[in-house]
Amino acid sequence: MHVLITGGAGFVGSNLAEAAIASGWSVTVLDNLATGHVDNLLGLDVDFVKGSVTCADDVMRAMRDVDAVVHLAALGSVPRSIANPMATHEANATGTLTVLECARRTDIRHVVYSSSSSVYGSNPALPKGEREWVRPMSPYAVSKLAAEQYVLAYQQSFGLSTLAFRFFNVYGPRQRPGHAYAAVIPVFLDAVRRGSAIPINGDGSNSRDFTYVGTVCDVLLRALARGVSHPEPVNLAFGTNTSLLDLVEVIEDVTGCQSPLEHRGPRPGDVPHSQADNAVLRGLFPDVAPVPLRDGIDRTYTWLREQS
């Protein structure tokens, strides 16, 4: 199989590229390097196309001789979207529509898309099932909801085989700290590594369904190999619910280090609690075994220390 990974120089995309190559597949990566890093692809036998998902010419060039697409390219981060809603919409919603249109005009057999648990927003239900009502709390969440609905609409309107996953707080190697929009796990691990205070937005009770990137890649490869399509979004997480304070305890246990906590004000647009109902995922992929949080933190911390 020849797969195109948009955003393939990013955190999830580069891990997926590595896993796909290990499975014997050919990989093309399309990335404009706005948030990705070309050194994530060092040593990987990929066909790299520098370009944007908002440019149809770039997308068509990257789709040449491709069988399937995993569309990961996006401008992530709730705070970034609040700072610049238009850029987030353009990259996430318009970019996804461009990818779908190009796929429709070519012989692409299958498009898999990464939506986000942020679409549930202010819905307080736990765990969150795919048929729960959605109420996005940030421009980022709105853009991901619009994009996933385009993915499903192209399945219904044009017969394109599609699958829209809702990712829940993916973490792991190649997820970098040290920038304004860094995710919580690399930020916490980097603080412990440096012996500095761990920054916590709010009182630490906010909770997440953390999912290791290797598990995510396992599911994505299975979906591609079997050409799995589904008429509704699918949560890609395993029903865990870890508070930020509990996360700190796991990190301290893994690293053997303790750092003081620095509590900050809550961030606008942040969802208080997130936990997936994974019944649909389990029905589609019953053999997937998720990596436990402690093991995933250990692997991530090992990678981070190797970057020093």
What does the domain layout of the chain look like in residue ranges? 2-171+210-238
pLDDT at 181 > cutoff 70 = no
Query: The whole model's pTM is what?
Result: 0.94
> Cis omega (within 30 of 0) on the bond before 173?
no
Portion of the chain with pLDDT greater than 90, in percent: 81
Q: Looking at the domain that runs over 2-171+210-238, which CATH code has it been given?
A: 3.40.50.720
* Range 168-175 average pLDDT: 94
Q: Which tokens in the block code for residue 118?
A: 């942020």
pLDDT at 308 > cutoff 70 = no
User: Within 10 Å of residue 158's Cβ, how many Cβ atoms?
Assistant: 12
Indicate the pLDDT class of residue 182, thresholds 50, 70 and 90: low
| Residue range 219-268, pLDDT digits in tens | 999 999 999 999 999 999 999 999 999 999 999 999 998 888 888 877 77
